[in-house]
């Protein structure tokens, strides 16, 4: 495995593989890896000749007062995990490598990016789309791998790729969970013991929504209100987003029918944001093995 920190260096390293027709898979991350990231790596390794994992804490997707400066970082730890996972190249640029001067160009999907998580984190998804587009331009991957835990992000990236005819297959990978059901996230490290115990309310709320719908509730607002009340029973939890949406378009649902619906959650435990979701009403749900 080779770690590369410059755009020119990575392009040069990948050029011989490109010339020989090898396929390239990209796993974009902000580092401080967990088993969920490694599931992305596993898929990429199984489906491509060459695997690149990027580690870059992207300042463009952090708003004022968010956790940019304290976001967990441990490159040697991450490199060890990625080498064990069979990654060929780690792309670990600094901010000055990715943004040698302030960006004058922004990539955005404004309709999808301004609601749900975007409504409480304005500008977040334009930062995501901009850095992902730049990574696609640098790496030139055939496939790129993203976790379904960040379902809105995955949907936005898919739409961006379609709209801009970017020659990349976007692969969604099912959420990996801890033994108690909490979705794996780099930000889980922020939780103290009391908050970590309280955080289990998030996956339990997904189950509560499924129970309500399974019992015959057809009103999206009634389900959302029921889930909010369920989360509110945990004093440490603040549900900022509870939304039932169409699982492909993220549009609002007028009535819950026989088809699948998507429940999206954005819950804060203290100052830590936890995202989760579940597609309800289909046989295969978007959750994976227990870590």
So which residues are the catalytic ones? 37
With vertex at residue 210, the alpha carbon angle to CA 204 and CA 212, rounded to the nearest 5 degrees, is 105
Place of tokens 């509560």: 208
Q: What's the CA gap between 177 and 13, in Å, rounded? A: 35
Those residues with Cβ within 8 angstroms of residue 144's Cβ, 6 or more apart along the chain or in another chain:
25, 26, 27, 28, 132, 135, 136, 157, 168, 169, 170, 171
Question: For residue 78, how many C-alpha atoms fall within 13 Å in the half-sphere facing its CB?
Answer: 25
């Amino acid at each position: 495995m080779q770690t590369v920190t410059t755009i020119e260096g990575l392009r040069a390293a990948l050029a011989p593989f490109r010339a020989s027709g090898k396929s390239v898979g990209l796993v974009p991350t902000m580092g401080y890896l967990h088993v969920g990231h490694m599931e992305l790596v596993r898929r990429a390794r199984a489906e491509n000749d060459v695997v690149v994992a990027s580690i870059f804490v992207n300042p463009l997707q952090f708003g004022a007062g968010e956790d940019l400066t304290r976001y967990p970082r441990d490159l040697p730890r991450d490199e060890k995990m990625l080498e064990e996972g069979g990654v060929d190249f780690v792309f670990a640029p600094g901010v000055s490598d990715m943004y040698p001067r302030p960006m004058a160009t922004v990539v955005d999907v404004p309709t999808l990016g301004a609601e749900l998580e975007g409504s409480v984190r304005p500008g977040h998804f334009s930062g995501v789309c901009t850095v992902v587009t730049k990574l696609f331009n640098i790496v030139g991957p055939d496939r790129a791998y993203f976790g379904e835990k960040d379902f809105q992000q995955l949907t936005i990236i898919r739409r961006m790729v379609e709209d801009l005819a970017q020659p990349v297959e976007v692969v969604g990978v099912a959420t990996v969970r801890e033994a108690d059901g909490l979705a794996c996230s780099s930000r889980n490290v922020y939780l103290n013991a009391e908050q970590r115990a309280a955080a289990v309310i998030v996956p339990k709320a997904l189950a509560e929504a499924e129970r309500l719908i399974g019992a015959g509730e057809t009103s999206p607002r009634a389900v959302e209100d029921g889930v909010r009340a369920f989360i509110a029973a945990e004093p440490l939890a603040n549900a900022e987003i509870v939304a039932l949406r169409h699982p492909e378009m993220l549009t609002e649902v007028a009535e819950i029918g026989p088809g699948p619906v998507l429940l999206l959650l954005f819950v804060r435990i203290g100052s830590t944001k936890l995202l989760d979701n579940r597609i309800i009403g289909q046989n295969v749900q978007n959750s994976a093995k227990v870590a």
